[in-house]
Amino acid sequence: MEKEITIYDIAKDLGVSPTTVSRALNNHPAVKEKTKMRIFEAALKMGYQSNVFAANLRSKKTHNIGVIVPRLNSSFQSSVIAGMEKVATDAGFNLIISQSLESYDKEIANVHTMFNSRVDGLLVSLAANTEKIDHFKPFMKKGTPVLFFDRIAECEDCTGVTIDNIQAAYKATNHLIEQGCKKIVHVLGNIKINVYADRLKGYKYALLDKGLAFEDALVIYSDLNEEAGEAIVKKIMALKPLPDGLFVSNDACAASCIRHLKLEGIKIPEDIAVVGFNNDVISRLIEPNITTVNYPGFEMGEVAMKNLINHLEGQTIGILTNTNKITLRSELIIRDSSKRKKEQ
Amino acid sequence: MEKEITIYDIAKDLGVSPTTVSRALNNHPAVKEKTKMRIFEAALKMGYQSNVFAANLRSKKTHNIGVIVPRLNSSFQSSVIAGMEKVATDAGFNLIISQSLESYDKEIANVHTMFNSRVDGLLVSLAANTEKIDHFKPFMKKGTPVLFFDRIAECEDCTGVTIDNIQAAYKATNHLIEQGCKKIVHVLGNIKINVYADRLKGYKYALLDKGLAFEDALVIYSDLNEEAGEAIVKKIMALKPLPDGLFVSNDACAASCIRHLKLEGIKIPEDIAVVGFNNDVISRLIEPNITTVNYPGFEMGEVAMKNLINHLEGQTIGILTNTNKITLRSELIIRDSSKRKKEQ
DNA sequence: AAATTTAATACAACCGATTTCATATTTTTA
DNA sequence: TAAAAATATGAAATCGGTTGTATTAAATTT
């Protein structure tokens, strides 16, 4: 309730103008070093706190960056956010975070809120059923950069940060083939999402290269949550003959599948070898440990944020507009759920 | 880059004053319904977007609420945040989220940032090694409400939302005793955190009530992460005779313990019955399913946010200042990891 | 119909920092 | 030492809403 200290108070106190105080506090070169010092000290002593809103109002910059993810409670997504937060905080930016909960409508609402909050930039991982990206148009129109990560949009003038999902899925599938699998089931999410579409491609390419036939019946669509295993396993058990490999596009779901396969008396990896995706905590806790693709979440967050901020600060004019895809390295981590041969 | 539409533009267009436009857009009762309609339509047609900063500058309200959690990638914490987000969004507030990563220093930095961002209120779950809460004083001094949840501060004039950890731990321990356990190990986190201190109490009280002796050797301190199981199990295996019950203050860690116990040839629940805490996804995926305490994260988020917002909107003046603890219900969910008797 | 009350709108100051342009001061050069 | 250049500081307009007070228009009462 006490009156706020403003640059005017400092100015009056020191007998200088508010202009000089403002410049000094922003470390403007046109203020004498000695004057700066006096102002810094006075500001500190008087308990001055800059009013962001006055600054934002005038400078039209908020130093806020919006982040929209499908869900916060995903170990992958929260690693990404942790990486983003680190870079943003170091650069003096705040993070405004919201989740779409995989809903297109909520995503639209979130984008709206972000627009009204006038974030300087937006980082987005798309919801499952987002097909159009018209809701980002106000940003494009205004010139506010929008950068997609992981779940990126197929759009000419959009920049995105991802891993090479095709390659990762190729490696995963190939690994199963090398372990002797001849009939591999692939479980994936909504094919509208680039991530799953690409992994399906990688799976197909690997089969093709090794001379195995692709069958529609071996592709199972699922929402990949931790309860999905039961339904998936039911479908698997209906296949004759039984498959001997399983590539699931998500560790939590892979874990659920393993659980239900074991309940059916299937031995992992002897009867069916399993590979997951994401390197979630759960992949290390479940019995057997799940072979999985390590997804560099933290790094992805860092890279995405760093690019956005560089662009905002005009350090790399054009990088974001010319590049339209940044691809990060991913790796297959081989664990017991797929390890059949000893010479691995 | 196009010029922004302001209330002045709308005012000029309709031949009214900016005041009226402002009031109409804020649904002020002193504006005729017909005029409001005209203004709304014009605003929509002209693509008007309110400038939050001008509004904030004058009204000294940001409609931003700060949230600081130890980690975002905890299924519990993210449920809490989901609950908060829902309530906040419905009430027209934004969420600014940051994580302390269990570091006191980072928490201080986060609180600082929140203060500078002039959030209208702050919701905090404390970092593990936070003992003093002096860093919140600027908020108190300014009259900005700070509300703790889950990891609350022991402080006279602080409000907090939690579950009854003593009772929850009592029930969990009691359940193990009822399953025939005579020697129960309790694994918990930093005792400075109220959550763990209270659970330890509940554990002790249950032992006491059932005439079992409390032994310091049966209490194991850990950081409760998913790798901690190995070290914990090593300690457990060193106990002679082996314990027959295990109460772990966190599901991920309980899962890790179960994994390593099984590697040692221990049968769950026959040799050692296990109870976890939180009802994390993992408790339902691990073999056997983990008996656990359901922690109403989403609800906790809702309740905390609702209280804060009510206070901000002056609807329940005094509720927050008079109440200094809100306790939510929790329940024990019994699953296979502890179920020895059939008549359960 | 005049007087009084109430409803609707307008004026103008204000929130606090930023920034353009002008001015004062100091330093360098001729 | 005067003139030119460089440096440091200040005055005032500006960003775009909000809000207390004044004013006008409409409704109600006498």
User: Which of A274, A281, A286 best probes binding to B when mutated, by most B CB atoms within 10 angstroms?
Assistant: A281
Instruction: Identify the helix (H) or strand (E) that includes residue A195.
Output: helix A194-209
Banded pLDDT at A300 (limits 50, 70, 90): very high
Q: What is the pLDDT of residue A317?
A: 47
- Determine which of A152-161, B62-71, B160-169 has the lowest per-residue pLDDT on average: A152-161
CA–CA distance, B316 with A54 (Å, rounded to integer): 31
User: Which of B75, B256, B281 best probes binding to A when mutated, by most A CB atoms within 10 angstroms?
Assistant: B281
Parts of chain B belonging to CATH 3.40.50.2300: 63-163+297-329, 165-295
Query: In terms of pLDDT, which residue wins out, B153 or A321?
Result: B153
Which of chain B's residues 14-53 bind strand D, using a 7 Å CB cutoff?
18-19, 22-23, 25-26, 48-51
pLDDT higher than threshold 60 for residue A319: no
Q: What is the pLDDT of residue B275?
A: 98
CB-based contacts of B176: which residues, under 8 Å, 6+ apart? B184, B245, B247, B273, B275, B338
| pLDDT tens digits, A225-266 | 888 999 999 999 999 899 999 999 999 999 999 999 999 999
Q: What is the pLDDT of residue B315?
A: 56
Banded pLDDT at A344 (limits 50, 70, 90): very low
Nucleotide nearest to B59 (CA to C1'): D18
Percent of the residues in chain B that have a pLDDT greater than 70, as a whole number: 95
pLDDT higher than threshold 70 for residue B317: no
Rounded to the nearest angstrom, the gap between the alpha carbon of residue A184 and the centroid of all alpha carbons in its chain is: 28
CB contact under 8 A, A54 and B57: yes
Most confident of A3-7, A59-63, A86-90, A302-306: A302-306
B42-63: b or e for each residue (b if 16 or more CB lie within 10 Å)? bbeeeebebbbbebbbeeeebb
Q: What is the pLDDT of residue B344?
A: 41
CATH topology of domain A7-50: 434 Repressor (Amino-terminal Domain) (1.10.260)
Q: What is the pLDDT of residue B58?
A: 87
Query: What count of other Cβ atoms lies within 10 Å of the Cβ of residue A191?
Result: 14
DSSP A290: P
Q: What is the pLDDT of residue A1?
A: 41
Q: What is the pLDDT of residue B316?
A: 52
Residue B317 contacts A where some CB pair is shorter than 8 Å: no
Minimum distance, in Å, between the CA of residue B256 and any CA atom of chain A: 6
Q: How many CA atoms lie within 13 A of A71 on its CB side?
A: 15
CB contact under 8 A, A118 and B89: no
pLDDT higher than threshold 70 for residue A341: no
Residue B78 contacts A where some CB pair is shorter than 8 Å: yes
Average pLDDT on A322-331 reads 84
Q: What is the pLDDT of residue A99?
A: 86
pLDDT higher than threshold 90 for residue A312: no
pLDDT higher than threshold 50 for residue B1: no
Nucleotide nearest to A28 (CA to C1'): D8
Phi, psi of B339 (to 5 degrees): -80, 105
Tell me the CA–C1' distance in angstroms for A13 and D3.
37
The mean of the pLDDT values for chain A is 89
Banded pLDDT at B61 (limits 50, 70, 90): confident
Query: CB–CB of B282/B275 below 8 Å?
Result: no
Return the CATH number of the domain spanning residue range A165-294: 3.40.50.2300
| pLDDT tens digits, A91-120 | 878 888 888 988 999 999 899 888 888 899
| pLDDT tens digits, B205-222 | 999 999 999 999 999 999
pLDDT higher than threshold 70 for residue B56: yes
| pLDDT tens digits, A189-232 | 999 899 999 999 999 999 999 999 999 999 999 989 888 999 99
CB-based contacts of B219: which residues, under 8 Å, 6+ apart? B185, B186, B188, B200
Minimum distance, in Å, between the CA of residue A116 and any CA atom of chain B: 7
pLDDT higher than threshold 70 for residue B320: no
Strand D closer than 7 Å to the CB of B94? no
Residues in chain B within 8 Å Cβ distance of A281: 226, 252, 282
CA–CA distance, B286 with A314 (Å, rounded to integer): 49
pLDDT higher than threshold 80 for residue B39: yes
A134-156: b or e for each residue (b if 16 or more CB lie within 10 Å)? ebbebbeeeebbbbbbbbbbeee
Average pLDDT on B253-272 reads 95
Return the CATH number of the domain spanning residue range B63-163+297-329: 3.40.50.2300
Parts of chain A belonging to CATH 3.40.50.2300: 62-163+297-330, 165-294
Closest chain B residue to the Cα of A262, Cα to Cα: B287
CA–CA distance, A10 with A33 (Å, rounded to integer): 17
Q: What is the pLDDT of residue A4?
A: 81
Query: CB–CB of B64/B117 below 8 Å?
Result: yes
pLDDT higher than threshold 60 for residue A315: no
pLDDT higher than threshold 90 for residue A301: yes
Nucleotide nearest to A59 (CA to C1'): C18
Residue A1 contacts B where some CB pair is shorter than 8 Å: yes
Residue B108 contacts A where some CB pair is shorter than 8 Å: no
Minimum distance, in Å, between the CA of residue B107 and any CA atom of chain A: 13
Q: What is the pLDDT of residue B198?
A: 96
Parts of chain A belonging to CATH 1.10.260.40: 7-50
CB contact under 8 A, A57 and B78: no
Q: What is the pLDDT of residue B314?
A: 66
CATH topology of domain B165-295: Rossmann fold (3.40.50)
Nucleotide nearest to B55 (CA to C1'): D17
CATH topology of domain A62-163+297-330: Rossmann fold (3.40.50)
Query: What count of other Cβ atoms lies within 10 Å of the Cβ of residue B124?
Result: 30
